[in-house]
Amino acid sequence: MPGYEWIGKEEQQQIQDVMNTGVFFRYEFPNERKGIYKVREFEENFARYMGAAHAHAVTSGSTALKVALAVLGVKPGDEVITQGFTFVATFEAIIEAGAVPIPGEIDYTLNLDPADFEKKITEKTTAVIPVHMLGAPARIREILEIAQKHGLKVIEDTAQALGASVGGKKVGTWGDMGTFSFDYYKTLTTGEGGMVVTNDRDLYVKAS
């Protein structure tokens, strides 16, 4: 299904509310927007749904990854481990941060194999990006344990698994930061857009 069959009067009204203000900025212009803060409302509701302390909207899932990498201090020359089976944006974000993507093998979950992840860690490794592919959660508990043992940051690429959970806790809220995509083909769409979530106030402020 292309998605248009889900667009009805409710969605059209939400867009019209914004059009009536004439303000397309995320925040600011309080007088002109007449109390209409769609992005802030979305962020607050999304954080509540995820069980996360903070959610910060961005322009795409790719941007969400790049923001998370920057906020967590990944710099040129660093190595970031992720899985070979993923959408290209995961690798692109690492490369655009100036870091080196290190592909790891996947296991029966179709996600990063924790054992292979640990084998790939070097003195240059600063972060890992497990990707929850096709709605299937990675073995996030084991990945986190390994990352913590080696002092690595964890960014969850949750573009394809919004709503999935492990032990009742939503994926995207286990690591330091979780990233999401809302493009036209995702489970939840805003046409384009993305989100970064975190439970760390300082990371949220840096993301903003």
Which pLDDT tens digit goes with each residue over 110-132? 999 999 999 999 999 999 999 99
The answer, yes or no, to whether residue 26 has pLDDT greater than 90, is no
The residues, any chain, with a CB within 8 Å of residue 200's CB and separated by 6 or more, are 53, 54, 176
Residue tagged active-site, from 38, 120, 186, 206? 186
CA–CA separation, 159 and 195 (whole Å): 9
21 with 28: CB under 8 angstroms?
Answer: no
What the block records as the tokens of 145 is: 């344990």
Q: What is the pTM of this model?
A: 0.93
Residue 26: strand, helix, or coil: coil
* Domain range list for the chain: 1-36, 52-207
The CATH number given to 52-207 is 3.40.640.10
124 with 145: CB under 8 angstroms?
Answer: no
pLDDT of residue 50: 98
Task: Examine the residue annotation and report whether 124 is marked as an active-site residue of this protein.
Answer: no
